[in-house]
């Protein structure tokens, strides 16, 4: 069973506000992308990797992969306008005989083998997709303007992360439609009727959105 990883790294990182795309902002001594790239490459669960790069940054992505000795990187594509489009463009480089696609955001650098194992093995149980998730600690309310309209039951809610694993042909079919509004791949698969399992996530898989997230993750890296 071949597992192809798609690494979504094409975002501009507007909220981080750096002088370069988020994937190339420093985390410790290295570009942010180095962390997830090296970890996916080292994973025994991953066979090949396709990276979606920010427009104009394809060459630096390939150089970085070479520098790190990431031999599983098979290609690098120019990303699209949205995350969904970037994943779709990268998926076009995944061969038809690939069984599983693991989609991961470069914005979550601290991916490890255990969470990859949890999502990939769920597919062996017959699920069409699997996502890592954490319980919700805060109370979540739905609002309209300034007014609270509803308090949701947090027992039934989860914070969902990447990496997310999918049966390759299921993801391909789901991404063929309109993906512009999707914030993750599982939502597109769910909307197409796919059965997606939730497995335990990892609190270290923080998503880097702003400068404070970068500091928190850098602290975890040296801990
Ligand atoms: N992403 C992508 N292609 C896009 C937009 C996002 O591959 N057109 C990727 C990002 O590189 C990131 C992940 O999707 O790894 C999650 O996106 P997000 O955290 O929103 O990153 P950015 O879009 O770069 O940040 P911002 O929204 O602040 O501009
Ligand atoms: Mg974004």
Residue 90 confidence (pLDDT) above 80: yes
Residue 146 confidence (pLDDT) above 80: yes
What ligand is nearest to the CA atom of residue 77?
A: 1
Average pLDDT over the chain, rounded to whole?
A: 96
Residue 178 confidence (pLDDT) above 90: no
Question: What does 88-152 look like in DSSP terms, one character per residue?
Answer: HHHHTTS-TT--EEEEEETT-----HHHHHHHHHHHHTT-SEEEEEEE--S--EEEETTEEEEE-
**Residue 162 CA to chain centroid, in angstroms?**
4
Residue whose Cα lies nearest atom 21 of ligand 1: it is 11
Q: Is the CB of 82 under 6 A from ligand 1?
A: yes
Note the pLDDT of residue 84: 96
Ligand 1 centre to CA of 149 (Å) is 30
What ligand is nearest to the CA atom of residue 13?
A: 1
Residue 194 confidence (pLDDT) above 80: yes
Q: Is the CB of 103 under 6 A from ligand 1?
A: no
Q: Which atom of ligand 1 has the smallest separation from the CA of 107? A: 15
Note the pLDDT of residue 181: 86
Ligand 2 centre to CA of 104 (Å) is 14
Note the pLDDT of residue 33: 98
Residue 223 confidence (pLDDT) above 80: no
Q: Which atom of ligand 1 has the smallest separation from the CA of 80? A: 8
d(CA 74, CA 71): 8
Note the pLDDT of residue 122: 98
Sign of CA dihedral 105, 106, 110, 113: positive
pTM over 0.85: yes
Residue 217 confidence (pLDDT) above 90: yes
Q: Is the CB of 208 under 6 A from ligand 1?
A: no
Proportion of the chain above pLDDT 70, given as a percent: 100
Quick one: pLDDT band at residue 118, thresholds 50, 70, 90? very high
Q: Is the CB of 78 under 6 A from ligand 1?
A: no
Sign of CA dihedral 193, 195, 199, 204: negative
**Residue 30 CA to chain centroid, in angstroms?**
19
Proportion of the chain above pLDDT 90, given as a percent: 95
In sequence order, what are the residues at sequence separation of 6 or more whose Cβ sits closer than 8 angstroms to the Cβ of residue 161? 108, 115, 131, 132, 133, 134, 201, 202, 205, 207
Mean pLDDT across 144-164 = 97
Instruction: Decide which of 179 and 110 is more confident.
Output: 110
Q: Ligand 1, residues 104, 107, 180, 183: which to mutate, most atoms within 8 A of Cβ?
A: 107
Q: Which pLDDT tens digit goes with each residue over 8-53? A: 999 999 999 999 999 999 999 999 999 999 999 999 999 999 999 9
Note the pLDDT of residue 19: 96
């Amino acid at each position: 069973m071949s597992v192809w990883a798609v690494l979504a790294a094409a975002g501009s990182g507007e909220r981080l506000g750096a002088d370069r795309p988020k994937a190339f902002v420093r985390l410790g001594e290295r570009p942010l992308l180095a962390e997830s790239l090296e970890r996916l490459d080292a994973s025994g669960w991953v066979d090949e990797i396709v990276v979606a790069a920010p427009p104009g940054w394809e060459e630096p992505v390939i150089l970085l992969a070479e520098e790190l000795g990431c031999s599983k990187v098979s290609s690098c594509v120019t990303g699209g306008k949205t995350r969904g489009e970037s994943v779709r463009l990268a998926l076009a480089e995944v061969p038809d005989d690939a069984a599983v696609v693991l989609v991961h955001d470069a914005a979550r650098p601290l991916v490890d083998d255990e969470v990859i194992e949890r999502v990939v093995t769920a597919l062996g149980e017959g699920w069409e997709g699997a996502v890592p998730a954490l319980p919700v600690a805060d109370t979540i309310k739905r609002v309209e303007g300034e007014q609270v309209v509803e308090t949701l039951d947090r027992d039934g809610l989860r914070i969902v992360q990447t990496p997310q694993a999918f049966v390759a042909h299921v993801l391909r079919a789901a991404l063929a439609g309109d993906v512009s509004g999707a914030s993750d791949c599982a939502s597109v698969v769910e909307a197409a009727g796919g059965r997606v399992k939730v497995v335990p996530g990892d609190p270290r898989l923080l998503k880097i959105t702003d400068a404070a997230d970068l500091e928190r993750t850098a602290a975890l890296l040296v801990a």
